[in-house]
Amino acid sequence: ALVPPKPADWPADRPWPFAEDGGQLWIGDDGRLVAGVYGENPRLLNAERMRQVTERPLEQRYPRTRGVYHEWIGAITSGTRAGSDFTGHATGLTEMVLLGCIAQRMGTTLELNPETGQFTSSVPAEFIDPPYRQGWRL
């Protein structure tokens, strides 16, 4: 399994990785956040900042659902648009996962221009536009 290095600010008494089924580690300019594989139980690693967010939570921006499986069934049975549809969710998620795959293969951090989506760090061309076998093309 591919597991990122344990963050220096991870509690010494907690196991790393923190979940058997996977999880998320988000590293930002102002701190780090971990969450379950589907974003459940998010928590900031900085205890003081987590306390502040818990005491004064941000305003809820998106409606809560019963989960992706219920959304899927609802989309099938009633035509209700899922919150994780292709245009609003899956496209960005796929881009993020593919960027993670490239970063993992390169063993380094990737840098992107958020406005253009173009790499500002050097990435081998075959990672972006791989060669196809004879007789196949995209």
Quote the pTM value: 0.54
| Pairing of the two strands 43-44 and 31-36 | antiparallel
CA atoms within 13 A on the CB side of 116: 6
Q: Which of 25, 41, 93 is nearest to 33 (CA)?
A: 25
**Model pLDDT for residues 112-130, shown as the tens digit of each residue:** 888 888 888 888 888 888 8
- For the chain, the C-alpha Rg in angstroms (whole number) is 19
> Residue 86 corresponds to which tokens in the numbers above?
């292709």
Instruction: Give the integer Cα–Cα distance in Å for 92 and 114.
Output: 12
Confidence of residue 1 (pLDDT cuts 50, 70, 90): low
**Model pLDDT for residues 38-48, shown as the tens digit of each residue:** 888 899 999 99
Instruction: Give the integer Cα–Cα distance in Å for 25 and 128.
Output: 24
**Model pLDDT for residues 60-92, shown as the tens digit of each residue:** 888 888 888 898 899 899 988 887 777 777 888
26 CB contacts (<8 Å, ≥6 apart)?
32, 33, 34, 35
